Structure 1
């Protein structure tokens, strides 16, 4: 599994993921808020399956899809 996410992309995903989780915990009991786990996991691994399907790479390197 080749990394296809750059540092900025990963950082933004961490912020968005944590924001969604905090909103779910602090706000009304809405299970959709826990979707924030997905950006956290993809940021932690550095690989996004959707990017792979779309041929996107934000690392600055040429990665073949």
Structure 2
């Protein structure tokens, strides 16, 4: 996540980029990972529930950044 946000102006990156990177790393779509963990919320909602991340709506999509006070 840090590597992705470091390459992005304003440190916010589109959520689909995060999902794509997670898919590359773990070999499964994030939706399957969330279901395996028995989490029924959409990926943006899951990220918003984590204090480590800051989520904002931009146009029709969402972007995510690491929260300023996070030590992630």
The alignment's TM-score, normalised by the length of structure 1, stands at 0.29
Higher relative contact order (CA 8 A, sep 6+): 1
**Structure that is richer in strand per residue:** 2
Rg (Cα) greater in structure: 1
